[in-house]
Amino acid sequence: DAGITQSPRYKITETGRQVTLMCHQTWSHSYMFWYRQDLGHGLRLIYYSAAADITDKGEVPDGYVVSRSKTENFPLTLESATRSQTSVYFCASSPAQVYEQYFGPGTRLTVT
């Protein structure tokens, strides 16, 4: 299917474990983003990428790692999950020179 997908949609993990959230887009958009959504905070940018092999930190990058070896994929890794990383994570993409972002359906992550 065309568009932007995230997997898994739901994940429960334990404190200290590594977990990777996947994001895939079929539009060949240059930009990709990871956000977390928490009550009272709206959406906060974790990392973004302007192109393959180019990534940069957002507002709340600590505890997260990203990579972008291919334009269409932008995985987000929690190297050692903490309870404070329990959240809903959204991936988004955007064409170059256009500011609108297109969002995936989200991944609900619970860290116990």
Which positions lie near another protein, rule CB under 8 A? 31, 33, 35, 40-43, 45, 48, 50, 56, 58, 90, 92, 94, 96, 98-106
Smallest distance from another protein to CB 15, Å: 26
Smallest distance from another protein to CB 80, Å: 27
The residue (of 16 and 105) whose beta carbon lies closer to another protein is 105
Contact call for residues 80 and 62 (beta carbons, < 8 A): no
Smallest distance from another protein to CB 55, Å: 11
The residue (of 15 and 98) whose beta carbon lies closer to another protein is 98
Using alpha carbons, select from 92, 88, 80 the residue that is nearest to residue 110.
Answer: 88
Q: What does the alpha-carbon distance between residue 8 and residue 6 come to, in Å, rounded to a whole number?
A: 6
Cis upstream peptide for 105 (omega within 30°): no
The residue (of 17 and 41) whose beta carbon lies closer to another protein is 41
Count H helices and E strands in the chain, helices first: 0, 11
